[in-house]
Amino acid sequence: MTDIRTHLIRPAEGIPEGFASLSQGVFHASTVVFPDVASFLRRQAQAHTGYSYGQNGTPTHYALANKLSELEGGAAHTVLVPSGLAAVVLVNSMLLAAGDHVLLPDSIYGPTLEVTQTLFAKWGIRHTVYPNDTGADIAELFEDKTRLVWTESPSSNTLQMQDIPAIVAAAHAHQIKVAMDNTWATALGFRALDAGVDYSVQALTKYVGGHSDLLMGAVSTRDVAAHHALRDTAELLGYYVAADECFLALRGLPTLALRLERQYASALRIASFLQNHAAISQVNYPPRPGDAYHHLWQRDFKLGNGLLSFTLQQNTMQAIENFVASLQLFPLGNSWGGVHSLIAVAPQRAASGWLLRLHVGVEQVDDLLADLAQALAVLEG
Ligand SMILES: *Cc1c(COP(=O)(O)O)cnc(C)c1O
């Protein structure tokens, strides 16, 4: 028997036989140990699918990545990264080299455009911003070195939709890849890979996490070589997510459908209430019949969620401050996708004035409607 002080340093037992749980075990590791020199020297060969170093994943990481791959469907493979924005950076870093050209819609998530205009531009990658409503005619913007088209539908402030199948068809006819930021719908709402998208990006921070307490992103693809290249690139960038955060994301998954169904049903009621209110000028929520993008939502999407935006008739900062201050159940804050209702304020990109973005949580919808009604009444009074 070694000295107890030495013994304390040895790992404790693994998973004891006879124990089973409905919860995912959480495994932490930087170092992974090997049974012999031969397997130690072979560890790089394991880097894509096995255990070689903490950064390549523990069973907790693989459990989450595999569940997300199942969610995306059709033998997808998934890489986990520290945030939704990191997922965007990963796709660009894997695919693009100096001199290459990338296309982004004008409705894209702000930081995605910003990183393209700053870091990637500095590294010699050129970009063109295209109008969100561009469909098959996107081909007119292709250049010799165009390698990638980014899409996002609906966009997260203006809720504008894109014709993803038309863009995919045009891009693939020119051997150009398509990435989609599918954070709004998740694969439960829109099957991006089935629609031909090459890289499906998710900010797990939003609906998968679902409780406003973690940041994480994922890139899923059905192309095994691309998946390996994404993993290698993530390793070179030093991207790593903590096992505890993976546990939280895994804990979000069983209720993902329940939460989305509830938030979608509540948001539909709230969207039509707002649309019919005299103090509101416009509501953006594609699942609502009458929305400017409803036809695309109806054609391509299977499920809505809780994120919508609107403008006040009285589109002044003073009116917005009064309205937001009167709300009791919608705290002011960024991000969305959790169980809590939220409100955020954003400048309108195309027009002057302000956009109010509402995230509808899982509270009782009658309480939410009453709260919005009293805050709008304050504006009229
Ligand atoms: C929030 C968000 C992201 C970024 O996710 P983070 O985890 O906050 O970096 C990317 N795309 C969309 C559409 C988002 O809403």
Shared-domain flag, residues 238 and 279: no
* Domain C-terminal end among 227, 254, 281: 254
Same domain? 301 vs 202: no
Counting ligand 1 atoms within 8 A of each CB, the residue from 206, 305, 336 with the most, and so the one to mutate, is 206
CA-nearest residue, atom 4 of ligand 1? 84
108: Cβ contacts below 8 Å, ≥ 6 apart: 150, 152, 155, 181
Exposure of 76 in the CB half-sphere (CA atoms within 13 A) = 28
Asked whether residue 248 falls in the same domain as residue 167, the answer is yes
CA 263, CA 59: separation in Å to the nearest integer? 32
367 pLDDT above the threshold of 90:
yes
Same domain, 219 and 342: no
Write the CATH number for 338. Answer: 3.90.1150.10
Tokens, residue 128: 């063109």
The Å distance, Cα 34 to ligand 1 centre, comes to: 37
Is residue 14 predicted with pLDDT exceeding 80?
A: no
Residues framing ligand 1 (Cβ under 6 A): 83-85, 109, 152, 156, 181, 183, 203, 205-206, 215, 217, 335
**Which residue among 205, 241, 307 is best mutated to probe the pocket of ligand 1, counting the most ligand atoms within 8 A of its Cβ?**
205
Q: List the domain range (segments joined by +) for residue 285.
A: 256-380
Q: What is the CATH number of the domain that holds 100?
A: 3.40.640.10
What percent of the chain shows pLDDT beyond 70? 100
Asked whether the predicted pLDDT for residue 1 surpasses 90, the reply is no
Domain boundary among the residues 223, 254, 285 is at 254
Whether 98 and 240 map to the same domain: the answer is yes
Q: Do 185 and 301 share a domain, yes or no?
A: no
187 with 261, same domain?
no
Q: How far is the CA of 85 from the centre of ligand 1 (A)?
A: 6
Atom of ligand 1 nearest to the CA of 83: 7
Residue-wise pLDDT for 268-304, tens only, equals: 999 999 999 999 999 999 999 999 999 999 999 999 9
Q: Are 37 and 62 in contact (CB under 8 A)?
A: no
Task: Identify whether the C-beta of residue 246 lies closer than 8 Å to the C-beta of residue 64.
Answer: yes
Residues 196 and 280 in one domain: no
For residue 59, whether the previous peptide bond is cis, meaning omega lies within 30 degrees of 0, is no
CB 151 within 8 A of CB 197: yes
Same domain, 212 and 98: yes
Region 218-232 average pLDDT: 98
Q: For residue 366, what are its two tokens? A: 């009658």
Can you tell me the mean pLDDT for 85-111? 98
Q: Please tell me the total count of domains within the chain.
A: 2
Residue 148 and residue 180 in one domain: yes
Full-prediction pTM beyond 0.75?
yes
Report, as an integer, the average pLDDT of 298-311. 98
In the listed set 230, 254, 278, which residue is the last one of a domain according to the structure?
A: 254
Regarding whether 63 and 16 lie in a shared domain, the answer is yes
In sequence order, which residues have a C-beta less than 8 Å from that of residue 171 and are 6 or more positions away?
138, 142, 149, 177, 178
Could you tell me if 162 and 269 lie in one domain? no
Atom of ligand 1 nearest to the CA of 85: 9
